[in-house]
Structure 1
Amino acid sequence: MREYLKFYIDGRWVDPVETRTLDVDNPATEQVCGRIALGGAADVDKAVRAARTAFGTWAQSTREERLELLGSIAGEYQKRAADLADAVNEEMGAPPSLAAGPQVSLGLGHLATATDVLKNFAFEEQLGSTLVVKEPVGVCGLITPWNWPINQIACKVFPALATGNTMVLKPSEVAPYSAQIFTEILDAAGVPAGVYNLVYGDGPGVGAALSSHPDIDMVSFTGSTRAGVDVARNAAPTVKRVTQELGGKSPNIVLDDADFAKSVAAGTSVMMMNSGQSCNAPSRMLVPNSRMDEAIAVARETAAAVKVGDPADKTAIGPVASKAQFDKIQGLLQKGIDEGATLVVGGTGRPDGIETGYYVKPTVFANVTNDMTIAREEIFGPVLCILGYDDLDQAVEIGNDTEYGLAGYVSGADLEQARAVARRIRAGSVAINHGFDMSAPFGGYKRSGNGREWGQFGFDEYLETKAALGYTPA
């Protein structure tokens, strides 16, 4: 039983101002596996004061000092990689292959990327007689979700540190264990007191206090579009910077070419990863109407081969993260059936032979139309919707017919055609044949958010731009 009942403020583990706790469930067992302290506005005040005090010194730190710190963090991170994996396994129910693999390695990848960017990042640029300087934005409020907990913490904390900011982190109360280990890593690495602070809590208690706090200079939020709207509203009176990475309903346009079956299988497999709990998941697969039956056969075979709840199998998926998420998915599965989509495989209820845990059947719907609820709403589970198109113009039109714009996918053997289609998709990132690059900017159009994370583009969100006119006499 884990008990994390203190917050990390000003370089020390401290008691909450008011004693309140929250039980944390293991979604694989549905049993309480730990408790965390729940913070409030008074705890946020303490953390923000510490961050504000530390900002004056850390903002003036040199590139070399920041690189040295990031190097120390890398060493400590590698020492605790197994502990991080155990935490993710317990808080999310992620199978060990996923927890110890992508979940942990993505955090280290963001650390390595931030280090590489920092080495050569141009914080100053001479434009004629004007010196343009990029300076740290100040005290940052970082609010992260439960679906890729280490990834989302790392892609905010490391760029913020590298650019000279101080911060207060509120991780998800659903999956808080990995944040505890992450904080212990930073403490062991010697992060200066007050530069990094951690306060556990929920959205109303800590998230709202961070986003509305007058001494927070920017908020970086990852989560649902609904919660992102609340963050923006809370931040508006103080006119602070707000960056948001929100929901998605990403199209995957499968081209009519020789790689069709391969593309359908790959898209189905990627959709099932992390039990479908990825905001950029390729949840709407668009295939030619003339090949719908072939797509159904390939997707059925691929999804049926996905093992559920078998921690010894690297292809297995775990449960979804909570009862609330499980219930939401079940409702949307039934909605898909009621609205007339073809249930290819999966459906409501737990997988056969599993009676405990928030496990969802790997599900494929076909003959989905873009006005159906399952094509409009983010399901956030292992559920693929297959839609048909007559030509590529219609495919692009359907793909863009969504309030979201986080990601898109194009799959096929014809690279030139894939490139042309990718340019027409209205989304922050478009992956051709599921390409992946940790240096690429990540963020969305429309209701999928504002701003970008990852690589050098993530640095820009944590910097103000100052013009020193007449710096060099004409």
Structure 2
Amino acid sequence: MIEKRQFYIDGQWVNPAAPNDMDVIDPSTEDTCAVISLGDQADTDAAVAAAKAAFPSWAATPLEERVALIKRLGDIYTERREEMAEAMRIEMGAPIDLARANQWGAGSWHIAGFLEALEGFEFERAYGGVDRIRMEPIGVCALITPWNWPMNQVALKAIPAMAVGCTMILKPSEISPLSSVLFAEMVDQAGFPKGVFNMVNGDGVGVGTQLSSHPDVDMVSFTGSTRAGIAISKAAADTLKRVSLELGGKGANIIFADADEKAVKRGVIHCMQNTGQSCNAPTRMLVERSRYDQAVEEAKAAADATKVGQSAESGRHIGPVVSELQFNKIQGLIEIGIKEGATLLSGGLGRPEGMNKGYFVRPTVFADVTPDMTIYREEIFGPVLSIIPFDSEDEAIAMANDTVYGLTNYIQTQDDDKRLRVARSVRSGMVETNGVSRQQGSPFGGFKQSGNGREGGLWGLEEFCEVKAISGVPMA
């Protein structure tokens, strides 16, 4: 049994102010794999006080010294790769090969990306000949991260905050806390000054709300559900702190008749990656009518070929979803999809054949989905794909935009003019075309109820800065 009850506050591991144990469940086995403690107001206050006390000196620390510490942290993160992958495998069910490559790799990729972005980041800029613009750290930051891509989100928040001179309190998801505990160990090992980075485990209604409403927290950076993002915004309103949100999605994957032959299969694989637990997953496949029947067959074949297995096993299979609550939610939405008349092509209710334990979901594809159906509108956050036909470019754009979300849309066509035209017309913070991923440092974030912030690269650095204009002191 792994026991990780302590919090990292002011450069040391400390016991919680009051005992409040919580079991961490391995979703592959449904067994308790670890125990943590949930913090209360006293723990939150201590972490915020430590961050507040450390801010003046850390903000004044020369950039090269901050960069050197981040590089050291990156080296340690690489040295302890296997530990980190194993932590994410256990806590949220990522198959071990995915945990080593994608889950661990996302953190490494972002650390490198921010170090590169820092090389071209101007903390002081000339303006109009006699003014200068300064980018200054915003202050004490609360970083609230989700369970589905633990190190991706921790790196997207903690690294730029450290880099520009902010101090912080990390509250990871209580469902997948082990990787963040390990990250805190790495920060300590790297030798960051005490109080720069603090970590308190807790749930949303407890530590999450306490951080969001705390008068000494200058900014909240949150990734998670739209419902929780709204609650955090309300909690933060009384203190007028900055709130940066990366929330849910219901991405459309628009496949035109002239899309390449692998477009449908690629879309299914992308939807199922990480067991469908990605806010930017292409969960609505919109297919031009003349290619629709062929796409339905191809999607069924791709879903049928998707293997489900234990997180400890090597391979390209998908693992369980993260929790019993998530499993039940997905099962309920699959049942609603069937009742509302969508055509079930693959998968469906219950666990995959031969599995009677663990939160495993059958890779599921629905065809003939219509905009009035629940599965068309709600974020399922599981390995479930909906396929819908369209007849014209304008109709495809209208369908893609017919959602409260606006995170990532996808476009597949060999017509470059059409591809750019549609990309400009869809209402989302990101558009990926023809299977080409966005580049390192490209801004991640959405429109509408998908949030209001941008993470990654120069945009991610600016997110943690205040802008100060100074007149009459021109740049030399």
Q: What TM-score bracket applies, with the shorter chain setting the length?
A: over 0.9
Q: How does 1:186-225 map to 2 (within 5 A)?
A: 186-225=187-226
Residue segments in structure 1 that go unaligned for 5+ positions in a row: none
Counterpart Cα distance in 1 of 2:32 and 2:369: 38
Distance 1:330 1:68 in 2: 48
What amino acid is aligned across from residue 274 of structure 2 in structure 1?
N
SS in 2 for 1:368: coil
Q: Confirm or deny that 1:297 pairs with 2:300.
A: no
Matches within 5 A, 1:266-281: 266-281=266-281
1:235 maps onto 2:236 in alignment: yes
In 1: Cα distance, 2:233 partner to 2:52 partner:
22
Q: Pairwise CA RMSD of aligned residues?
A: 1.2
Distance 1:380 1:34 in 2: 25
Identical-pair percentage: 52
1:41 positional shift:
1.3
Counterpart residue type for residue 443 of structure 1: G
What's 1:459 paired with? 461
Q: For the residues of structure 1 that align with 2:340 and 2:88, how far apart are their CA atoms?
A: 36
Aligned partner of 1:22 in structure 2 is: 22
User: Which whole-Å CA distance do the structure 2 matches of 1:153 and 1:53 have between them?
Assistant: 22
**What is the SS of the residue equivalent to 2:332?**
helix
Q: Which moved more, 1:417-426 or 1:306-315?
A: 306-315
- The AA in structure 1 aligned to 2:283 is S
Residues in 2 aligned to 1:226 and 1:258: alpha-carbon distance in whole angstroms: 36
CA contact (8 A) 1:419 1:432 kept: no
Between 1:302-311 and 1:272-281, the stretch displaced more is: 302-311
- Distance in 2 of aligned mates of 1:188 and 1:416: 51
Partner of 2:473: 471
Cα shift at 1:312: 3.9
Contact 2:219–2:242 (8 Å) recurs in 1 = yes
Question: Alignment partner of 1:449: what SS?
Answer: coil
Question: How many Å apart are 1:447 and its aligned residue?
Answer: 0.5
Aligned to 1:326: 327
**Structure 1 contact 307–313 (Cα < 8 Å) conserved:** no
Tell which deviates more after alignment, 324-333 or 57-66. Answer: 57-66
TM-score normalised to structure 2 length: 0.98
TM-score, normalised to structure 1, is 0.98
5 Å matches for 1:125-274?
125-127=125-127, 128-257=129-258, 259=260, 261-274=261-274
Q: Distance in 2 between matches of 1:299 and 1:240?
A: 45
Shift of 1:131: 1.2
Partner of 2:10: 10
Distance 1:473 1:81 in 2: 44
| In 1, Cα distance between equivalents of 2:37 and 2:300 | 44
Alignment check: 8 A CA contact 1:63 1:119 kept:
no
Query: 1:15, CA displacement in angstroms?
Result: 0.7
Q: Is the 8 A contact 1:28 1:93 kept in 2?
A: yes
Q: Which moved more, 1:296-305 or 1:407-416?
A: 407-416
Q: Deviations over 1:183-220 (max 9, x none)?
A: 11111011110000000000011000000000000000
Query: What displacement does 1:470 show?
Result: 1.5
Counterpart CA distance in 2 for 1:434 and 1:22 is 41
Q: Tell whether 2:373 aligns with 1:366.
A: no
How far, CA to CA, are the matches of 2:120 and 2:65 in structure 1?
14
- Which segment drifts farther, 317-326 or 403-412? 403-412
Matched residue type, 1:267: G
Distance 1:98 1:132, change over 3 A: same
Aligned length: 473
Contact map agreement 1:249 1:378 (CA 8 A) in 2: yes
- Distance in 2, matches of 1:340 and 1:213, equals 48
The alpha carbon displacement at 1:129 in A equals: 1.0
Aligned to 1:52: 52
CA contact (8 A) 2:126 2:475 kept: no
Q: Which residue of 2 aligns with 1:93?
A: 93
For residues 213-259 of structure 1, the C-alpha deviation after alignment (integer angstroms, 9 at most, x for no partner) is 00000000000000000000000000000000000001010011151
Shift of 1:138: 0.1
Query: Which residue pairs with 2:318 in the alignment?
Result: 317
Counterparts of residues 102-113 of structure 1 (less than 5 Å): 102-113=102-113
Distance 2:435 2:45 in 1: 43
Separation in 2 of the partners of 1:312 and 1:217?
Answer: 43
Q: Which residue of 2 aligns with 1:307?
A: 307
Task: Report the AA paired with residue 145 of structure 1.
Answer: P
SS in 2 for 1:103: helix
In 2, Cα distance between the equivalents of 1:3 and 1:411?
A: 48
Does 2:377 correspond to 1:376?
yes
- Structure 1, residues 151-173: CA drift from partner, whole Å, max 9, x if none? 01110000000110000000000
Cα 1:11–1:342 change in 2 (3 A) is: same
Consecutive unaligned residues of structure 2, counting only runs of 5 or more, are none
2: distance between equivalents of 1:134 and 1:404?
Answer: 31
Question: Contact (CA 8 Å) 1:308, 1:317: kept in 2 or not?
Answer: yes
Contact kept? 2:114, 2:441, Cα under 8 Å: no
Q: Which runs of 4+ in 1 moved over 3 A?
A: 310-313
